[in-house]
Amino acid sequence: MECNSVAFAFPGGAGGLDLPCIVADPFDDFWKLSTRLGMGACSEVRLCESINDSSVRAAIKIISKGAPDLFCPQSGDCREVLAFRAMQSHSILFQSSGIYEDERFIYIVMELLTGGQMLPRLTDRERYYPRYCENDIVTVARSLVRALAHLHLHGIAHRDVKPENILYFSESKDPTVKLSDFGIADTNAHNVNATDMVGTPQYIAPEVLL
């Protein structure tokens, strides 16, 4: 896919638009893969370092092109790539510094967060209580509502909001979070009626099950 002018916060791009476009240059010309941070059925997240500057680190999501559910049936575009293009202007949504592809995979380079998932902060009372309090939950909930409103304004439905997909910026008490994992997002929500039952069963709204 041709990409003429696209801005990146990390190596591998030129100045121009502030929305990521798929770059034809080989991913490993700019980044070196390191530790695995997470694993899904059709994708994984790895720590990566800049080839030119090892102090520059990021998270890289590697998406298999052999996973049809992660691509829009109408256009064939990767759902997560489409979502990232509408996410760059909101602070709670992950920012991408570059998107690459080869014959088998799509690589999305993202900012690196070190605070882990929200779920342990809700369940591990010995570690987080009483440090993690009601005011923190209110702050997170307010941020999430604003982020979802931003997504819906751009015709994107996340469809899998859950504590495991809410990540903290750091291990500090600061409740700054990011909403992650747009692998099953509906990127055409303005124009279609959503009828498929998707997401994680434990978190599906009751009215969806009726």
Among 58, 90, 110, residue at a domain's last position: 110
Does residue 9 lie in a domain region? Answer: no
**What range defines the domain where residue 88 resides?**
22-110
| Statement to judge: residues 106 and 124 lie in one domain | no
| Statement to judge: residues 82 and 139 lie in one domain | no
The predicted structure's pLDDT at residue 74: 62
Structural domains counted in the chain:
2
Does residue 1 lie in a domain region? Answer: no
The predicted structure's pLDDT at residue 6: 29
Does residue 11 lie in a domain region? Answer: no
| Statement to judge: residues 103 and 175 lie in one domain | no
| Statement to judge: residues 85 and 150 lie in one domain | no
Does residue 45 lie in a domain region? Answer: yes
- State the Cα torsion 67-70-76-79 to the nearest 10°: -160
Among 78, 110, 142, residue at a domain's last position: 110
Q: Which of 160, 174, 181, 196 is catalytic?
A: 160
Does residue 4 lie in a domain region? Answer: no
Here the contacts of 194-198 (C-beta below 8 Å, separation 24 or greater) are 194/157, 194/159, 198/159, 198/160
181 is catalytic: no
Q: What are phi and psi of 122, to 5 degrees?
A: -90, -25
The CATH number for 137's domain is 1.10.510.10
| Statement to judge: residues 125 and 201 lie in one domain | yes
In the block, tokens 């999305």 appear at 108
Are residues 120 and 127 in contact, defined by beta-carbon separation less than 8 angstroms? Answer: yes
The predicted structure's pLDDT at residue 1: 33
Does residue 158 lie in a domain region? Answer: yes
The predicted structure's pLDDT at residue 28: 85
The predicted structure's pLDDT at residue 86: 67
As averages over each run of 10 residues, the pLDDT of the chain (210 residues) reads 30 35 74 90 89 90 82 71 71 80 87 89 78 82 90 86 90 82 78 70 80
